[in-house]
A and B are shown apart, each in its own frame.
Chain A
Amino acid sequence: MSAEIPIARLSDIPPGEGRNFKVEGRCIAIFHTRSGQVFATQPDCPHKGGPLADGLTGGTTIVCPLHERSWDLATGRPVADSDRPLTIYPVRAAADGTLLVGLPAVTSTPA
């Protein structure tokens, strides 16, 4: 894994929501769940390109706002077998609240 890049602060993302950030020329979506976990994924839904950061989270599930397809944020696995998995990135919040994301991509293995 390459070096971690600071991108924003945990407090920039309201609990339960996601936001898009630009990191080294690419866009990634960061999610901050209600239980305090953070996850990073590709920003666009593999189905029809919907903005995942605008979706609904529940536990570690993200539901795309356009057609309600769902994925697991932790693994990138789709809930329905017919969908493609999400690309996920390692991300963590440092002690001071800075979000650190690791690039390049780690692609999840399909189930």
Chain B
Amino acid sequence: MAKQKLVVVGNGMAGARAVEEVLARGGADMFDIFMFGDEPYGNYNRILLSNVLSGAQDTEEIFLNPLSWYAENGITLHAGARVTDIDRYAKVVIADNGVREHYDRLLIATGSRAFMPPIKGLHGADGSLKPGVFGFRTIDDCNGMIAASAPGRKAVVIGGGLLGLEAARGLMNHGCEVHVVHLAGHLMEQQLDFTGGTILKSGMERMGIAVHLQKSTTEILGEGRVTGLAFKDGTTLDCDLLVVAAGIRPNAEIGHRAGLTVERAIVVDDHMRSVDDRTIYVVGECAQHRGRVYGLVAPLWDQAKVFADHLTGRNIDAAYHGSKLATKLKVMGVELASMGLTETQEERDELVQFVEPKRGIYKKLIVRDGRLVGGILMGDIGKAAYLMQAFDRDSPLPEERLSLLFDIGAPSQKVTIDEMPADAQVCNCNGVTKAAIGTCIAGGAKTTKAVMGATRAGMGCGSCKGLMNEVVAWFLGGAVEEDPSVHYYVPCIPLKKPELVAEVRARNLRSVSAVFRELAGGVEDAQSKPALASLLSVVWRGDYIPEADARFINERAHANIQKDGTFSVVPPMAGGATTPAELRRIAEVAEKYNVPMVKVTGGQRIDLLGVKKEDLPKVWADLGTHSGYAYGKTYRTCKSCVGTDFCRFGLGDSMKLAAQIEDRFKGIDSPHKMKLATTGCPRNCAEALIKDVGAVAIGDGKWEIYVGGAGGSHVRKGDLLCTVGSHEEVLLYAGRFMQLYREEAKYKERTYTWVERVGIERVRAIVMEDSEGIAARLDAAMQESVDAFIDPWKQIIEKGMDRADAAMTATVGSGA
């Protein structure tokens, strides 16, 4: 098929980034690409213009793609050509220099321009800005300002927003006497509240910048060249140069002329396509999506990806859902982070704040329904990374609000990635340092997954994965590419879990080998096998074809493999309750098979460690119990405190409840292990608050059920799911919760990660209020799994081990 023509109007950060995303998706084979830019340069990082102005960087350094990049990628660039019209019927764009270009697909990325308020005297007789007056938007603006500034000159900046303050800083570096004139009552009112703005103002004044608030400029003075400003209050201010940084306006006129719907900017759908023309896409500051126009760069990255996915057909369902705005920056030496709201809006909004004006420290958070909806951090932004992530992901906040503002107790261990020394270990399991990750990225890795594959970082206990992501993102400077396979249930089949489940059902796939044959082109992937086996077991309950080779050795041997190739055997012991007879039997088994170590586990059971593989069936037979399932991605055990039988504080019969839980859920397989606990009073001796599911007796026969707790590589207090009035209800709701987790969570995703990912509100709504109408189905599915319980120990005792396994003595492990 002949290539189509993609024409891009606009060669700024948006246009160039969008083209890069298209190229990354193999777009060069699908499209001949033509770009128009009205500046006579390749594209540059406009955000860094303030560094050029302040002298921190040369213009050369801020170019993103030099002119050679266009040639190398087969892109035709019309630099210095402004597109004036689009003939949508002929599918042709027309530039002011007469160039006409036909398109099959058009991208409008014209960005925005500095807003020039209608002030008398701003423009000269010829309609251009009066000499000495500048916008702050382009390299030419910057060069003009640098040429006009000199030590002793007096510079005024209209606009106390982010851009205006950047301009002020730059002019100060050139030795100018700088005044900032702002219409509003405090600086940076988009990002800061009054208190924050006031602290910033004092900081600026300390540095020698004069700030004039609530000043409305009525006239720019000077004949031929600017000499000063006149204000509404009758005062005036002299100046040698004037910078207008009063905001930006989208360059949407081209959309108007082409007959596209334009409100504040060109209106687009979720695919970043004009709502009027399926062949025209719009990204960046000239696009209006769901009523919002963005002036920051982060939303642009997301928009460019959606555009490229959709244009190239990589994902025609790709949709942009809007961005939540959070920024971290340094203004005038003051570090600040801002996200979302700056003031409370509703009665239920919770305000958490701390002010220490003397040191310029101000922290303010706005919490709604346990989620962060707004925040300002100034002076000390140590918690910014955490808070911005919580804001972006809408994740639940810890109950103790103080910990949101400060790291309490332990010395702050969270250094920023900038401060982190190169030899600091990021992954402790595999000994991977920050420097090693950097080397890997320098070698071409572009995704967290690629780095993990090459360095093994994050592949041990997994507790460093968050930090890994941050370090990778830091090295890539925000250009981290997301590997689509991270969303797949297994990397070798391009389907998310619900899609995979649907395919498995539709095609009636009942074995792991059948799944590989039908959905993975017959190519087996070793690491995907256990994940698929787990999924089939949940989908088909007992009714699937088990294939031992698809199971990890623990679930093949029904025991936990140890470092020397021997196994550990853990008989069940619900609630940690045992009897003298049982202890005697365990002791006899330990002696008979020369078990080298007998140890009490964290789950209140007894572990026989160092059992040879060929002895396993005999050990099980002599123990005379069913499998304790201490080895699988399954329900493990339920620990308990003494409860009401002996404890003088006991409020509920935690021992009995633990036994009921164990009896019902034993052997239930799941995406990862599930460790439970019951405790007879809120003293929580059995640590039910940090379990996957924990029940706490609170008196009057009532139990609180906590879910998603963790006390291992990650520590998290469980979320309260509900309070119920009987053991039966505990079994019902705990079972429903576990079934939802079994069906929805990714393989090896613990409940605490899953609950945080989907949100306790949603889990609670489904489990307690049946918000999706699936409660009865979940209960029935869990019941089927309960009924399908088989004791694997008994099965093997009866059937015997296979010949080769039974004959081979464990000579392995000592080395050959």
Q: A-side interface residues toward B, CB under 8 Å?
A: 8, 12-17, 19-22, 26-27, 29, 34, 42-44, 48-59, 61-63, 65-66, 68, 70, 80, 87
Contacts and interface: CB of A to CB of B under 8 A. Distances in A.
A68 B815 CA distance: 18
Contacts of B804: 8, 12-13, 19-21
The 9 closest A-B pairs by CB, nearest first: A16-B549, A58-B526, A19-B804, A51-B565, A54-B553, A58-B524, A56-B526, A51-B812, A12-B804
A56 B561 contact: no
B802 A14 contact: yes
Interface in B778-816: 802-805, 808, 810-816
23 contacts: A12-B802, A12-B803, A13-B804, A17-B549, A17-B556, A19-B808, A20-B808, A20-B812, A34-B513, A34-B524, A34-B549, A44-B814, A50-B565, A50-B813, A51-B561, A51-B813, A54-B553, A54-B613, A56-B529, A58-B527, A59-B523, A59-B524, A68-B527
Contact of A16 (B525, B547, B811, B814): B547
A39 to B, nearest CB: 14
Contacts of B811: 20, 22, 27, 43
Given A14-B549, A54-B553, A66-B563, A22 B802 contact: no
Interface string B295-312: 000000000000000000
Contacts of B526: 55-59, 61-63, 70
Given A12-B803, A54-B561, A49 B815 contact: yes
Interface string B553-582: 100110001011100000000000000000
B682 to A, nearest CB: 41
Contact of B813 (A22, A49, A57): A49
B395 interface: no
Contact of B553 (A26, A62, A65, A70): A65
Contacts of A16: 513, 547-550
Interface in B498-550: 513, 523-530, 547-550
B768 interface: no
B737 interface: no
B456 interface: yes
B475 interface: no
B816 A14 contact: no
A54 B557 contact: yes
A78 to B, nearest CB: 12
A20 to B, nearest CB: 5
A48 B456 contact: no
Contacts of B706: none
Nearest to A61: B526
A13 B564 CA distance: 22
A48 B810 CA distance: 16
A29 B547 CA distance: 20
Contacts of A55: 526, 553
A58 B525 contact: yes
Nearest to B454: A80
A51 B805 CA distance: 13
Given A17-B549, A43-B816, A56 B565 contact: no
A34 B547 CA distance: 11
B549 A19 contact: no
Contacts of A13: 804
A74 B553 CA distance: 22
Contacts of B813: 44, 49-51
Contacts of B513: 16, 34
Contacts of B814: 44, 49
A111 to B, nearest CB: 15
Contacts of A27: 811-812, 816
Contact of B549 (A15, A61, A70): A15
Interface string B380-402: 00000000000000000000000
Contacts of A19: 804-805, 808
A62 B565 CA distance: 16
B547 A44 contact: no
B552 interface: yes
A27 B816 CA distance: 7
B53 to A, nearest CB: 47
Interface string B410-453: 00000000000000000000000000000000000000000000
B383 to A, nearest CB: 35
A27 B803 CA distance: 16
A39 B563 CA distance: 24
B459 interface: yes
Contacts of B459: 68
B762 to A, nearest CB: 33
B815 A44 contact: yes
Contacts of B552: 56, 65
Given A14-B548, A19-B804, A49-B815, 8 more contacts: A13-B804, A16-B547, A16-B549, A17-B549, A17-B556, A51-B810, A58-B525, A68-B527
Contacts of A63: 526-527
A62 B529 CA distance: 12
B445 to A, nearest CB: 14
A68 B528 CA distance: 12
B738 to A, nearest CB: 26
B563 A42 contact: no
A17 B803 contact: no
A22 B524 CA distance: 29
A79 B564 CA distance: 23
Contacts of A65: 552-553, 561
A62 B613 CA distance: 20
A34 B529 CA distance: 12
Contacts of B550: 16
A15 B803 CA distance: 14
A32 B120 CA distance: 87
Contacts of B528: 58
A52 B813 CA distance: 9
A44 B815 CA distance: 6
A84 B563 CA distance: 19
Given A12-B804, A13-B804, A16-B549, A58 B812 contact: no
A68 B525 CA distance: 13
Nearest to B527: A63
Given A12-B802, A17-B549, A58-B528, A66 B812 contact: no
A70 to B, nearest CB: 7
Contacts of A52: 812
Nearest to A7: B804
A56 B549 contact: yes
Nearest to B528: A58
B292 to A, nearest CB: 45
Among the interface residues B459, B552, B565, B811, which one has the most CB atoms of the partner chain A within 10 A? B565
Contacts of A62: 526
Nearest to A81: B454
A58 B802 CA distance: 21
A58 B490 CA distance: 13
Contacts of B549: 14-17, 34, 56-57
A5 to B, nearest CB: 16
Contacts of A14: 548-549, 802
A54 B808 CA distance: 12
Interface string B14-45: 00000000000000000000000000000000
Among the interface residues B525, B549, B813, which one has the most CB atoms of the partner chain A within 10 A? B549
